[in-house]
Amino acid sequence: MQFRLFSFALIILNCMDYSHCQGNRWRRSKRASYVSNPICKGCLSCSKDNGCSRCQQKLFFFLRREGMRQYGECLHSCPSGYYGHRAPDMNRCARCRIENCDSCFSKDFCTKCKVGFYLHRGRCFEECPDGFAALDETMECVEGCEVGHWSEWGTCSRNNRTCGFKWGLETRTRQIVKKPAKDTIPCPTIAESRRCKMAMRHCPGGEFR
């Protein structure tokens, strides 16, 4: 009787060990299938058809679309046109909502514009607003050179003389009020001249040309 009970116990233990081994083997096989499938890299749960549905901590979930197909990926950083949004349940890649933005810090603040556009205070413009100058190397708008109002036109003269000629030049000027943020940004012209008719064609003493 004792021998039969002992034999029965051995059979039960063998079955339990077999089930445990089979379970471990299935889990190892499942993990191996994740590793072998490129789109499952960094995933906590994944399928070959739909890709990742949950990501490892610190990675961002991105739903990639290719034609009619879409599948999930787990990325260290979000692709162009998206930004990383961290959340307690899972980090996700969210689309930038700013027009002509290539990469953004949040949905409402761009950090880099598409080619041909300039970045100014989180937005993208074809040209910089008034009072700002474009830096072509970074495609950003920075504070430009600020100048004051034009002065009145000066006296019409020629060769430092106000008589003796029919035509001369008159000049007006303006001052730089604020220097630009970068030395490479040029200031607009602060002096300009135009042709004028001399007030006195004849000089005192009868000199005339």
pLDDT for the residue numbered 24: 46
179: phi then psi, degrees, rounded to nearest 5:
-75, 155
Residue 175: C-alpha distances to residues 75, 86, 116, 131, 171 (Å) = 54, 50, 32, 15, 14
Same fold, 39-95 and 146-208: no
pLDDT above 50: residue 120: yes
pLDDT for the residue numbered 133: 82
3-state helix, strand, coil in the chain (%, to 5): 20, 40, 45
146: phi then psi, degrees, rounded to nearest 5:
-100, 130
Encode pLDDT of 44-72 as tens digits.
888 888 888 899 988 999 998 888 888 89
SS3 39: helix
Domain layout of the chain by residue ranges: 39-95, 97-143, 146-208
Q: Which CATH architecture has domain 146-208?
A: Single Sheet (2.20)
Above pLDDT 90, what percent of the chain?
24
Domain 97-143 grouped into CATH 3.20.20.150 = no
Question: Which has more pLDDT, 190 or 35?
Answer: 190
Mean pLDDT, the chain, integer: 79
156: confidence class by pLDDT, cuts 50, 70, 90 = very high
| Distance (Å, whole) CA 136 – CA 138 | 6
Least confident range of 9-13, 82-86, 200-204 = 9-13
| Distance (Å, whole) CA 201 – CA 69 | 85
Q: Is the pTM for the entire model greater than 0.85?
A: no
190: phi then psi, degrees, rounded to nearest 5:
-110, 5
Question: Which has more pLDDT, 83 or 206?
Answer: 83
Average pLDDT over residues 21-31: 46
pLDDT for the residue numbered 20: 47
Cβ 39 vs Cβ 18: under 8 Å: no
CATH for 39-95 is: 2.10.220.10
Cβ 147 vs Cβ 167: under 8 Å: no
